[in-house]
Amino acid sequence: SQTIHQWPATLVQPVGSPLSLECTVEGTSNPNLYWYRQAAGRGLQLLFYSVGIGQISSEVPQNLSASRPQDRQFILSSKKLLLSDSGFYLCAWAPNQGDPSGNTIYFGEGSWLTVV
Amino acid sequence: RKEVEQDPGPFNVPEGATVAFNCTYSNSASQSFFWYRQDCRKEPKLLMSVYSSGNEDGRFTAQLNRASQYISLLIRDSKLSDSATYLCVVNLNTGGFKTIFGAGTRLFVKA
- What tens digit of pLDDT does each residue of A53-70 get? 999 988 876 789 999 999
Pairing status of strand A111-115 against strand A10-13: parallel
Average pLDDT, chain B: 92
Helix (H) / strand (E) containing B28: none
| CB-CB contact of A38 with A44 (8 Å) | yes
Q: What is the pLDDT of residues A12-44, one digit of tens each?
A: 999 999 999 999 999 998 898 999 999 876 788
| CA dist., res. A100 & res. A109, Å (int) | 22
Size of interface A-B (CB pairs under 8 A): 51
**Would you tell me how many other CB atoms lie within 10 Å of the CB of residue A97?**
10
- Rounded to the nearest angstrom, the gap between the alpha carbon of residue B8 and the centroid of all alpha carbons in its chain is 11
Q: Is B49 on the interface with A (CB under 8 A)?
A: yes
A43–B44: do the CB atoms touch at under 8 Å? no
Q: Nearest-CA distance from B23 to chain A in Å?
A: 14
Which residues share a beta bridge with A5? Answer: A24
Cis peptide upstream of residue B10 (ω within 30 degrees of 0): yes
Q: According to the model, what pLDDT value does residue B97 have?
A: 64
Confidence class for position A101, pLDDT limits 50, 70, 90: very low
B101–A32: do the CB atoms touch at under 8 Å? no
Q: Which of A43, A100, A109 sits opposite B43 (nearest CB)?
A: A109
Pairing status of strand B84-93 against strand B105-110: antiparallel
Ranges of chain B whose pLDDT falls below 70: 93-97
| CB-CB contact of B84 with A23 (8 Å) | no
The answer on pLDDT for A99 being more than 60 is no
The answer on pLDDT for A96 being more than 80 is no
